[in-house]
Structure 1
C-alpha cells in the first residue's frame, strides 16, 4: 500500500482494518497470554463471543477491501459500519477491563478519528456524544465514585471532545488540500474539452512504460475529414464532436483497463495492456460500434476515424514506437480512411452504412 498524506476512503479504511487485527491480537494476549492475563486478571467470560464476532466482521471487511470497488454501495456500507462495530467492541472491552480505568480506553480516540474522517464535524460530534454516553453508562454501572476514578473519568471525556474538535479541523483542512491537489492534477494532466488525459501526460506515460520495458499496445487515431467538418459546420460543432468523443473514449478505456488521451487537435491515443490480435479486433469492434451509434451534433450526425496500432514489445524507444504507429495511422488514412492498420499487416474495416 502506498502511504501518502492524502489518502482516499479506501486507503484510510485499509489502515483501520489493519489496526483492528492488531487490537485483536492485543486482546487475545491480554485475556489469554499467561504472563499478562494472570497479572491483569480481567473478566473474560464474554470475550470469546466478541472475539468470534470481531473475527467474522474483520474477515468479511478484508475480503471486501480486496474484491469490491470503492464505489460499490455495499463496500461503502460495510466499511462505514466499521465505526459502529468499533464503538460496540470498545464499550464491550472497557466493561471487561476495569471499566473507567481500562488501559484500552485510548482506542476511543481512534473511533473519534475514524468517524471524523468519514463524516467530518458531524462525525466528530456524534462519535464524541456516543462515547460520552457509553463511557458514562459504564461509570454509573461500575459505581466507583472515588476521587481517582472520577478524575480519570472526567479527564478522558475532556480528551475525547478535544480530539473530536481538533480532528474535525484537521480533516476539513486535509480534504481542502486534497481537493486543491485534484484540481491541480486535472489542470496539469487533463484536456479541458474532452476530459481525456492530455498530450503532456501521454508523453510521460509512454516514456515511463517503455523505460520499464512493459509490454503494451499503442493506438493512434485521427478523425477523418475533420477540417472539412470545421469549415462546413463551424468550430463549435467541431468542439461538440471532440467533447462527445472524449466521453466515448473514457468509457471505452475503463472497460478495457486502458488509458485514453487527446494527443492534439483531432488526434487521439490509447495505451492498452498487451493482448492477442483477436482481442485487439474486439476492442475496435466495440470502438467503432460506439462511434456508429453516437449522434454527435445536429449539424454533423456521424464521424469516422482511422487508427494505427502497434506493440511496444518491451524494448522499443518511445519516439520510435510513436513514429511507427503514426505511419500505420497515415497508411489507414491513405488507403481510404475509416479503418485500422495493424503492424501485422492486417487491415480492419468496419462494414456498416454511415449516417449522413
Structure 2
C-alpha cells in the first residue's frame, strides 16, 4: 500500500478513537525503527564487551579488526537512520535502502561472530533477528535464503578458525545450526504471519473506506479527512463536483451504464491527480468531492480543464455514449483561518448550486480566491 494511502487512512481514523487502540501490528516504517534501535543497542553492547574492563580481559575477544567492524557498522547504520529520519517519498528507493541494510547486517553479524569466538560466540543468537528481518522484506524467499546463508556463514567461520578439529565444537556447531533452522524457521514464519495480518488489516480498513463503484474513498472518509485538515489549519482548497443531468443518463441507458460513467469519472480524478497533490472522494450519488493542497485559482482552473477533457474522451470510448455529451459542474472554495469543516462544505455546496443554476458545465469559485 502506498504511503499516501496510509497517511490518508490515518487522517480518516483520527477522529474515530483508533488512536487509542492497542497497536499490535507495525507497518514497515515502524518495524524498521525497531530494528534500527536494536542495531544501535547491539553496537553499543559489542563495543563495551570488546573494549571495557572487566569484560574485555575476561572474554578475550579478537580485537584485530573490530575497529573496522565498528566503522563499517556505524556507516551503514547511520545511512539507514538518515533515510528513516527523512522518510523518502519514493517508497521503492527507501525499501531498497532497507534491504541493503539487511545485507550489511549479515556481514556485520558474521564478522562479529568470527571475532568473538566463532562457533562459541555469545552473539550467535543475533542471527535469529537477521532471519526475522529478512523474512519481513523478502517473505518466504528471505526466510529460506537467510537460514541457508547464516548456516553457511557460520560453517565458513568454523572452517576459517579451524574449530572443527575440536570434537566438542563440532557438536556445538551442529546444535546451533539445528537451532538456526528450527527456531529461525518458526521465528521467520511468525514474522511473515505478522506482515500478512497487518496487510489484511490495512486492506480491510481500506475497503471499508472506499466506494465500491468508483474505487474512490467514500463520504465517511471525506468527512473525517476534511475535519482533520481544517482542525489542523492546513492550507487546502476543496471542490464539490456534480455530473450534470445524470438522472437522464440512468433513465435512458440504465443504471449499469450509469455506474460505468461514475467509475469513468472516478478513474479520471485518480489518474489525473497525483496522490501528493490531493484526495478524491465519492460524496454520494453523482456528486464527488476533492481536497487539494493547491490553492491558486489559475492552477485549479487548469486542473479542471484537464479533468473535463479526459472525462469527455473517456466517456466517448463507451460505445453507447459515443455521441452523448456528459458535462460536470464544480463548486470551489479554499480554507480560511476561521473555517470549520461545516463552513467550507457549505461554501462549496453553495458554489456548486450557483454553477448548476447558471447553465451547468462550469466551475464557480467564491470570494476566498480574491483575498
TM-score w.r.t. length of structure 1: 0.83
Matches within 5 A, 1:196-215: 196-215=216-235
Q: CA deviation at 1:243?
A: 0.9
Matched residue of 1:112: which SS?
A: helix
- Corresponding residue for residue 118 of structure 1: 137
Matched residue of 2:320: which SS?
A: coil
Q: 1:231 to 1:246 in 2, by over 3 A?
A: same
1:320 paired to 2:343: yes
| Deviation larger for 180-189 or 205-214 | 205-214
Instruction: Report if the CA contact (8 A) 2:135-2:192 is conserved.
Output: no
Q: C-alpha separation between the residues in 1 aligned to 2:112 and 2:319? A: 67
- Corresponding residue for residue 53 of structure 1: 72
Matches within 5 A, 1:180-191: 180-191=200-211
1:9 paired to 2:28: yes
Q: CA deviation at 1:288?
A: 3.3
Q: C-alpha separation between the residues in 1 aligned to 2:39 and 2:226? A: 40
Q: C-alpha separation between the residues in 2 aligned to 1:288 and 1:117? A: 43
Matches within 5 A, 1:327-338: 327-338=350-361
1:88 paired to 2:117: no
Matched residue of 2:331: which SS?
A: strand
- Corresponding residue for residue 13 of structure 2: none
Aligned length: 346
Q: CA deviation at 1:33?
A: 4.8
Q: 1:62 to 1:346 in 2, by over 3 A?
A: closer
Instruction: Report if the CA contact (8 A) 2:333-2:368 is conserved.
Output: no
1:130 paired to 2:146: no
Instruction: Report if the CA contact (8 A) 1:256-1:272 is conserved.
Output: no
Matched residue of 1:254: which SS?
A: coil
Match for 2:287 among 267, 270, 282?
Answer: 267
Q: CA deviation at 1:256?
A: 4.8
- Corresponding residue for residue 350 of structure 1: none
Matched residue of 1:58: which SS?
A: helix
Structure 1 portions without partners, runs of 5+: 348-356
1:108 paired to 2:131: no
Q: C-alpha separation between the residues in 2 aligned to 1:23 and 1:181? A: 32
- Using CA pairs under 8 Å that are at least 6 residues apart, name the structure with larger relative contact order, 1 or 2: 2
- Corresponding residue for residue 238 of structure 2: 218
- Corresponding residue for residue 11 of structure 2: none
Instruction: Report if the CA contact (8 A) 1:257-1:273 is conserved.
Output: yes
TM-score w.r.t. length of structure 2: 0.80
Q: C-alpha separation between the residues in 1 aligned to 2:193 and 2:326? A: 46
| Deviation larger for 208-217 or 129-138 | 208-217
- Corresponding residue for residue 42 of structure 1: 61
Q: 1:231 to 1:10 in 2, by over 3 A?
A: same
Q: CA deviation at 1:134?
A: 1.6
Structure 2 portions without partners, runs of 5+: 1-6, 8-18
Alpha-carbon RMSD across the aligned residues, in angstroms, is 3.1
Match for 1:300 among 307, 310, 321?
Answer: 321
Q: 1:169 to 1:31 in 2, by over 3 A?
A: closer
Q: CA deviation at 1:305?
A: 1.0
Q: CA deviation at 1:111?
A: 0.8
Q: CA deviation at 1:195?
A: 0.6
Q: CA deviation at 1:108?
A: 0.7
Matched residue of 1:324: which SS?
A: helix
